[in-house]
Chains A and B, each alone.
Chain A
Amino acid sequence: MANLANLYDVSKCTACRGCQVACKNWNQLPAVIEPFKGNYQTHEDTNGDTFTIIKFFESEDPVDGLKWDFIKRNCMHCLDPECMKVCPKQAYTKTSWGATLHDPDKCIGCQYCAAACPFEIPKYRKREDVITKCTMCADRVEAGMQPACAATCPAGALTFGDRDELIQVAEARAKFLRANGFPRATIYGKLELGGLNNLYVLTDTPDKFGLPVNPKASGNVTFWQDWVQPYFGWLIPLMLTASATSFVTSRLIASKNGEHGEHGEGGHE
């Protein structure tokens, strides 16, 4: 099956946050009330009970003056997900159509995935000691519906569908924006990190929206998973074997030399 993707177009979004409500509603997520921080953002970040949020960025640009940017954030459903590589319980799976699913029944709350994800998406739900994140509404999609956020968006900023088609739509839109007052407009998610199933049309460079310009798997995590875990551990059985060898040889040599019963008498000046 072809990859299905969710395309979010910053230039069409009005920051109404209907998607946040729809997501809470469909996924039966309790409200999380956080103190007012002086801007329009509802929460510091996504959290154990909030799979998606609109993030707000205010900045002063010497040319453009005051800028007010916002962007919908949630799991990117990476084609080659880091979260899946580090999980010691294989709690992550990829669906045939591209969603990265997390099974809370397998999860043990070690939070490796939270630190490994280049987008810091998986979040810890303390009360159940598990990780949670956006499911791409796999239950809805497999029943022939759209994700709740995409279905609810009144501004048409979210489109769910075939990834290859959406990339063309996104590229055309970015080209249009570049010609119409947004010279730095670009798309995000086509090539980043080997490809994402969450695509963006951005009116400016990714860093203006808090997205890593060139997201990479952390070298520390790769070293841990690809070198330390598979190879370094073999030193332990090697040392055990050395001790077992000594157990045999030292006793053989001692009996050959006619030492009986007395331990450790030889050897020192």
Chain B
Amino acid sequence: MALIPEYRDDVPRVERFNWLARFSHWGHTVTFLLCLFTGLVLFLDGVNWLAAIFGGYRGAGLVHRVSAVGMTLVIGIGMVFGFKGIIEWIKDLLRFGMNDIIFVMKFPLEFLGFPVKIPPQTRFNGGEKGNSMVTPTCVFLLVLSGYIMWFPAIFPVGLVRVSYWTHDIAMIGATCMVCMHAYLGSFHPGSGESFWGMWKGTVRADWAQHHHAVWYEETYGDKKAE
């Protein structure tokens, strides 16, 4: 079985993520991972080989700060220019319903590859809704605590002390999610086309109809609002 399904443009395709969403997603993916590996240098205490990749501990600290600013900018740009999209995203998250609960309950089996029947999903399925809430929350906490740790002199010392464990717990939360999410968004057979939605912007119409039936019908199908 191939790692990712072949990208086919000989079949009908529909748009899933616009240019800005994809720029923002891959932008914060790269900067997040750079922050992660440069941060782990300190979290793991004494992993000199990891530090060496970034030119030593000071180099890692510099890369951490440059990527942090890069990530802040990418997310900021995505939020300002993609404001409408963010609102739609939040609206979809608020549609958390029975179909999402069933999705989440059956998900462990689906995750391991067992065939399960899952009710129709909106634009983001139950798992993606969870990811959409947990990961951005952790990233928000990382950014907040990160800047406090960067400039400890201008904040009360109690807040700086809280930031230390907050930064680490948020890092662990976000990274755990990303460990699953990166796999689900690429090599997980059950996810199929979704990688192309984020990479090229479109997914096969039949896949969209199958995996996100509610969204497909409302956006491209019979229930499309005029």
Contact = CB atoms under 8 A, between A and B. Distances in A.
A264 B192 contact: yes
The main secondary structure of chain B at its interface with chain A is helix
Interface in A220-248: 220-221, 223-224, 228-229, 232-233, 235-236, 238-240, 242-243, 245-247
A255 B59 CA distance: 47
A243 B115 CA distance: 17
A268 interface: yes
A112 interface: yes
A139 B112 CA distance: 63
A122 B26 CA distance: 40
B160 A115 contact: yes
A233 B172 contact: yes
Interface stretch (B15-23, B76-84, B175-183): B175-183
A252 interface: yes
Contacts of B42: 88, 110
B152 A251 contact: no
B112 A245 contact: yes
B142 to A, nearest CB: 14
B168 A224 contact: yes
Interface size bucket, A side?
35 or more
Contacts of B211: 264, 268
A265 interface: yes
Nearest to A115: B160
A236 B153 CA distance: 32
Contact of A239 (B118, B162, B180): B180
A170 interface: no
Q: How large is the interface on B (under 10, 10 to 19, 20 to 34, 35 or more residues)?
A: 35 or more
A90 B213 contact: no
B207 A264 contact: yes
B11 interface: no
Interface string B10-44: 00000000000000000000000000000000111
B180 A115 contact: no
A151 B153 CA distance: 33
Nearest to B152: A111
B179 A243 contact: yes
Interface string A254-265: 110100111111
A108 B164 CA distance: 16
Given A89-B57, A245-B112, A265 B192 contact: yes
Contact of B58 (A108, A233, A240): A108
Nearest to A257: B115
A7 B165 CA distance: 36
B88 to A, nearest CB: 22
Contacts of A25: none
A266 B115 contact: yes
A82 B165 CA distance: 16
B172 A236 contact: yes
30 contacts: A88-B42, A88-B46, A108-B57, A112-B164, A115-B161, A120-B157, A232-B169, A232-B172, A233-B44, A233-B172, A236-B175, A242-B111, A243-B183, A243-B184, A245-B112, A246-B112, A246-B183, A250-B111, A251-B1, A251-B189, A255-B1, A261-B5, A263-B1, A264-B191, A264-B193, A265-B192, A267-B116, A267-B117, A268-B120, A268-B121
Interface of B: 1-2, 4-5, 42-46, 57-58, 61, 110-121, 149, 152-153, 157-158, 160-162, 164-165, 168-169, 172, 175-176, 179-180, 182-184, 187-193, 207, 210-211, 213
Of all A-B residue pairs in the complex, the 10 with the closest CB atoms, nearest first, are A264-B192, A250-B113, A263-B192, A220-B161, A243-B183, A224-B165, A239-B179, A253-B113, A263-B5, A88-B42
